Amino acid sequence: MMSPAPRPEQIVTSSDLVRHFGLWQERAARAPLYILHRGRPRFVLTSIETMDALCATHTPPLPPRAAGVDATALLDGMRDLAVMADQDGIITASSRTARAHFGATVAAGAAIDMIAPPSTRAFLTDAIRRVLASGIGDSLDIPSATRAGRVLSLAIEPAGSGVVLFAQDGTPEREAAQALAGAQALDAALLAATGLACVTINPRGYAVDPSATLAAMTGLTRDALTMIRFVALAEIGARVALGAAIEQAMAGKTPAPLHVGLLVNRADPVTVRIGLAPLRIGTAITGVTAVLVAG
């Protein structure tokens, strides 16, 4: 006999189950939950009473682990670095991605605070205790204990009587933020020393995240600069030539520098020299970099 089709409230993805285990285990106590793996039901989470009733007249009782969900198999379906631990901080399961990153550090039976280097283990332990006591998730950044120079962003969530940690390598985002901060500081220094500003122009012709230095040069706010096309900053007579030069740069060429009159809010235009170059990421041109030099 075929089992009836599950209702929508009985279907859950493995990642949502782990993140909100308390909510879903309450639903499983009322009706079986169908856990999706790659879009198809693979496991069923149900109460022990339901499981006993199903097995009583057919086969001998299953061992406790078989009656529930294999946590390792559940976590292996996730992309996150995920590690599950009991109330004593002992690891009970980990995802395939976590084992690839941490190695034996996340083996079942190991202490979960070992994923952090000695200098930050106390911070991780305190955060886990807060989550266990309050039932409210927490987050923190720690250096990786197994990969030098890498920073992990952790989300700690309650899961049954224990916790589950979701880790992501936050190093690229941190490096990007540092690079952006460095570029903004250099932009400000160049404007102060030489009257120079830089800006990236997207394929639609608008400034991308215009700098404070461009705002100072034009007398417009950064928000205002994102709402108008870059060519509109030039005097009317120079806009056609500037637009053509931007199109050349978008086509992969480096046009000759232009001298144009730059409109300034509530002030007379100023003459600037504009250099343009294509912005390449790999083989793709994603925009144009412009350098404006006053005078």
* 39 and 9 together in one domain: yes
- Confidence band, pLDDT 50/70/90 cuts, at residue 228: very high
Is the pLDDT reported for residue 165 higher than 50?
yes
CATH number for 143:
3.30.450.20
- pLDDT tens for 82-121 read 899 999 999 998 888 888 888 888 899 999 998 888 888 9
* 64 and 77 together in one domain: no
Picking from 29, 45, 69, the residue at the C-terminal end of a domain is: 69
How far apart CA 56 and CA 77 sit, in angstroms, is 31
How far apart CA 191 and CA 199 sit, in angstroms, is 12
* 80 and 163 together in one domain: yes
Handedness of CA 140, 143, 144, 150 (dihedral sign): positive
Q: State the CB neighbour count (10 A cutoff) for residue 105.
A: 20
Q: What is the pLDDT of residue 161?
A: 87
- Confidence band, pLDDT 50/70/90 cuts, at residue 139: confident
For 88, the token pair is 């004593």
Q: What is the pLDDT of residue 67?
A: 38
Picking from 169, 195, 224, the residue at the C-terminal end of a domain is: 169
- Confidence band, pLDDT 50/70/90 cuts, at residue 177: low
Handedness of CA 236, 237, 240, 242 (dihedral sign): negative
Picking from 169, 188, 217, the residue at the C-terminal end of a domain is: 169
Is the pLDDT reported for residue 170 higher than 70?
no
* 180 and 289 together in one domain: yes
* 56 and 76 together in one domain: no
- Secondary-structure percent of the chain, ordered helix, strand, coil, rounded to 5: 40, 30, 25
* 44 and 95 together in one domain: no
The mean pLDDT value of the chain amounts to: 81
Q: How many domains does the chain have?
A: 3
Question: Taking residues 184-193, what's their average pLDDT?
Answer: 64
- Confidence band, pLDDT 50/70/90 cuts, at residue 178: low
Is the pLDDT reported for residue 285 higher than 70?
yes
- pLDDT tens for 153-164 read 888 988 888 998
Helix (H, G, I), strand (E, B) or coil at 100: helix
- pLDDT tens for 46-81 read 777 777 666 654 444 434 443 344 667 777 767 778
More confident residue, 53 or 244: 244
* 160 and 111 together in one domain: yes
* 290 and 178 together in one domain: yes
* 183 and 131 together in one domain: no
Give the range of the structural domain holding residue 64, as residue numbers without chain letter: 1-69
How far apart CA 240 and CA 43 sit, in angstroms, is 63
- Confidence band, pLDDT 50/70/90 cuts, at residue 262: very high
Contact 285, 278 (CB under 8 A): yes
What is the number of residues in the chain? 295
* 211 and 281 together in one domain: yes
Q: What is the pLDDT of residue 240?
A: 96
Q: What is the pLDDT of residue 194?
A: 62
Q: What is the pLDDT of residue 2?
A: 44
* 55 and 98 together in one domain: no
For 26, the token pair is 């309450």
